[in-house]
């Protein structure tokens, strides 16, 4: 098998059930690589830098479903709210408020995931499970009329230890189930779990992921980050 984007995508799709959404993470790869994937039917792409995303969005087909997966600064939210389909990485109340405000201006309702810190590395972003519950209890979801919280997102520790990865994924699914049974018990929208990347997406699917974010296994190694 060659290592073209087409064959990589084809191979990965064979391993993913239809109920799981494949987000093709195209960060640091050129628009031409996205076009290759687009031409064989891929429509969902994930980016982690605002400037890079807006530059690509301008030149690529308008039926692409763009997902923002990186750390998002409040002052940059306004650049993506006109078109973004899903923001995976909401990690503060301030960011939630800013997205709601910009979405209102754009006359949109934007789907978001709350990012939960499940990894051992301190460098990764996100609420701790306790902070997440505390934050949700401190607000009234009806005040966020231009946002729909559709689930949770997380990143496991970068490790070969499969048990550790499973343990971290289970932290995420158990928080999800707790929220589903309480704060979101009447919200049919709260149904997504975004976890699993190139090295651990098969484990993630076994552990209940509904959305995997796969980059290097599709597009090849990135030059940096």
Ligand X SMILES: *Cc1c(COP(=O)(O)O)cnc(C)c1O
- Phi-psi region at 49: left, alpha or beta (left = phi > 0; alpha = psi -120 to 50): beta
* Binding span for ligand X by CB under 6 A among 14-22, 143-151, 161-169, 210-218: 210-218
Interface region with ligand X, contact rule CB under 6 A, candidates 31-39, 129-137, 173-181, 215-223: 215-223
Give whichever of 135 and 198 is closer to ligand X, judged by the CB atom.
198
Residue 72 and residue 92: Cα distance in Å, rounded? 10
27 scored as a contact of ligand X (CB under 6 A): yes
Output the smallest distance, CB 128 to ligand X, in A. Answer: 18
216 lies in the binding site for ligand X (CB under 6 A):
yes
Query: In the complex with ligand X, which residue's Cβ is closer, 187 or 216?
Result: 216
- Looking only at residues 63 through 122 of this chain, which bind ligand X when binding is defined by CB under 6 A? 69-70
Q: Which range touches ligand X (CB under 6 A), out of 30-38, 100-108, 133-141, 191-199?
A: 191-199
Q: Pick from 44, 155, 165, 172 the residue near ligand X by CB under 6 A.
A: 155
Please report, as ranges, the residues that interact with ligand X according to CB under 6 A. 25, 27, 48, 69-70, 155, 197-199, 213-217
């Amino acid at each position: 098998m060659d290592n073209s984007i087409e064959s990589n995508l084809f191979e990965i799709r064979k391993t993913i059930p239809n109920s799981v959404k494949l987000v093709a993470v195209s960060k640091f790869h050129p628009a031409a690589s996205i076009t290759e994937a687009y031409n064989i039917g891929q429509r969902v792409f994930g980016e982690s830098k605002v400037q890079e995303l807006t530059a690509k969005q301008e030149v690529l087909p308008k039926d692409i479903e763009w997902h923002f997966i990186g750390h998002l600064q409040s002052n940059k939210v306004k650049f993506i709210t006109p078109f973004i389909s899903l923001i995976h990485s909401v990690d503060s109340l301030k960011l939630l408020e800013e997205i709601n405000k910009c979405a209102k201006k754009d006359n949109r309702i934007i789907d978001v995931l709350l990012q939960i810190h499940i990894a051992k590395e301190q460098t990764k972003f996100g609420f701790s499970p306790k902070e997440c519950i505390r934050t949700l209890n401190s607000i009234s979801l009806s005040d966020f009329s231009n946002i729909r919280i559709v689930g949770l997102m997380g990143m496991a520790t970068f490790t070969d230890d499969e048990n550790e990865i499973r343990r971290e994924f289970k932290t995420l699914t158990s928080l999800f189930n707790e929220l589903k049974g309480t704060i979101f018990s009447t919200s049919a929208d709260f149904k997504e779990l975004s976890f699993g990347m190139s090295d651990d997406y098969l484990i993630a699917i076994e552990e209940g992921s509904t959305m995997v974010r796969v980059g290097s296994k599709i597009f090849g190694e990135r030059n940096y980050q």
